[in-house]
A and B are shown apart, each in its own frame.
Chain A
Amino acid sequence: GDSVTQMEGPVTLSEEAFLTINCTYTATGYPSLFWYVQYPGEGLQLLLKATKADDKGSNKGFEATYRKETTSFHLEKGSVQVSDSAVYFCAPSGTGRRALTFGSGTRLQVQP
């Protein structure tokens, strides 16, 4: 089944630093890819998505490009803020167990 591998956290950055959180996928086809974010005390919510190769998803200054050649969907932001401190999860579309296993995500801590 389709699945993703994302980098372990925590990632600690200073405000206005550049952020990259790596995510690579394994799939038999070309699933949609998602980044979810979980702020403290809340459930996961969709941050951005890309539905096909070469698509770029973007939201709140975050971007991720669906790269078929490297099977990657890395999350980037040019200048992080303290309010971006959260846990980030990469996931493919699909209803198989592997696709739905979110794991621990990557915790981002942004310091002022």
Chain B
Amino acid sequence: DAGVIQSPRHEVTEMGQEVTLRCKPISGHNSLFWYRQTMMRGLELLIYFNNNVPIDDSGMPEDRFSAKMPNASFSTLKIQPSEPRDSAVYFCASTLAGQEVFFGPGTRLTVL
């Protein structure tokens, strides 16, 4: 398996623009997570899905953030409008039945 796939790997955008991050979990995994990592806050859980259904989105910082999982093999995290303080590395991760979590390589987002 190719592991968790994220795109793009790097994104530079201007404040106010819409940003969409994409994730393909490992085939057969039933849980998917979106994390944000910064030096100040460490690795924060934003939202997670079980069987494509959002279970806990209490970590989503604001209404500007939204996540979808239309099927078992694809998820998106959207920021609209983006702000400089959203600059971070965003990780997608997946697991099966709550065991080992597999992380993607991350998307480094810079909002100017």
CB pair A97 B98 closer than 8 Å: no
Inter-subunit contact B100/A104 (CB<8 Å) = no
**Alpha-carbon distance A93/B31, docked complex (angstroms):** 12
A17 CA / B43 CA spacing, docked (Å): 28
Answer whether residue A69 sits at the interface, using C-beta atoms and an 8 A cutoff. Answer: no
Residues 45-68 of chain A: 1 if any B CB is under 8 Å from the residue's CB, otherwise 0?
A: 110010000000000000000000
> How many residues does chain B have at the interface if contact means C-beta atoms less than 8 Å apart?
27
Tell me if A4 is interfacial: C-beta within 8 Å of chain B. Answer: no
A95:B48 contact, CB within 8 angstroms: yes
Closest residue to B108 on the A side, CB-wise? A41
Pick the contact of B105: A43, A99, A105 (CB < 8 A). A43
Kindly supply a per-residue 1/0 record for chain B positions 88-112, scoring 1 wherever the CB is within 8 Å of any chain A CB and 0 otherwise.
0001010100111111111000000
Closest 5 CB pairs of A and B: A104-B42, A43-B103, A102-B43, A44-B103, A95-B98
